[in-house]
Amino acid sequence: MSAEESGIGREPIGTIVPTRSWREVVPNEVKFYAISDWGFWDGVQLVHMAHALPSFSLSSNVHTLFVYRGAPIRYRLKGGAEAGDVVIYPDSVSFIPADTPYEVEADDLTHEDIGLKILPEFMESAAREAGIEVDGFEFQATFSRSDARGAEILKMLLEDFEMGCPYGREFGQSLARKLAVHVYSTYGNNQSVRSEHAGPLSARALREIEHFVKANIGEKIGLAEVSGMAGYSSSHFHRIFKESTGLRLHDYMMRIRLG
């Protein structure tokens, strides 16, 4: 759960001044394994952190998405639509929209998260580019949801950051955009929103893939790297790429390399 944006302390701290930086309020008890600066990627800030605090609260003027890492933990959620006892499991995802306060008490103090702050304007821009109607759209706060796709993309983003962004920052930026669109299709009140991952690859997605392959033509890239850039698991991407192009990815990349 967010440490610094919530101002985590030994006691719930009440009203929190919203902040857009993970570094604004960082208790000594919170350990940061990795953190990106605002501006490293457009519109998002990534963190990998751990703490052992019995209670904490959260309020922010940006959207926050978390993937929990660790053994199952029982929480008492004291605010929000899902108030009550909640168990979070490894790789479960929590999404807290901007300006939505949460207050939590934990039985087990060991806690580790991958967290992503997302500027609302970036989220909206990514959704519009994907053809999603955002006017009148409302997000729904969700705590400890099974969301394999959201968890997968966020873990890919952390892995890319920890490796030093070997394929350039645009790789991570693409993941951030994919994640923003996924949030719109998963955590909103508009059930008619269609996930861009439900069918064949869009023309935009195919252009991004072509650009990524050409930009890394001299590098050793394969299914894992290209599927990660596109925001898919390797197995799903293998199937959907052939469905969309009629080619295996290997054959497609050979065509590009041979000109």
* pLDDT computed for residue 116 by the predictor: 93
Identify the band that residue 234 occupies on the pLDDT scale cut at 50, 70 and 90. Answer: confident
Mean confidence (pLDDT) of the chain: 77
* pLDDT computed for residue 14 by the predictor: 29
pLDDT tens-digit series, residues 19-36:
556 666 455 677 889 999
* Domains defined for the chain, CATH in brackets: 31-147 (2.60.120.10), 169-257 (no CATH)
- Tally helices (H) and strands (E) across the chain: 7, 10
Residue 248 has pLDDT above 80, yes or no: yes
* pLDDT computed for residue 221 by the predictor: 83
DSSP assignment of 16-57 equals ----S-TTSS--TT-EEEEEPPTTSBTTEEEEEEEE--SEEE
Q: Which amino acid is at 123?
A: M
pLDDT tens-digit series, residues 208-230:
888 888 888 777 788 888 877 77
Q: pTM score > 0.85 for this model?
A: no
* pLDDT computed for residue 45 by the predictor: 92
* pLDDT computed for residue 9 by the predictor: 32
Mean pLDDT of all residues in 182-200: 64
Quick one: which H or E segment has residue 82?
Answer: none
* pLDDT computed for residue 22 by the predictor: 64
Quick check: helix, strand or coil at residue 150?
helix
* pLDDT computed for residue 48 by the predictor: 93
Top-confidence residue, 35 or 192:
35
Top-confidence residue, 116 or 102:
116
CA angle 129, 131, 137 (to 5 degrees): 100
* pLDDT computed for residue 176 by the predictor: 92
Residue 191 has pLDDT above 50, yes or no: no
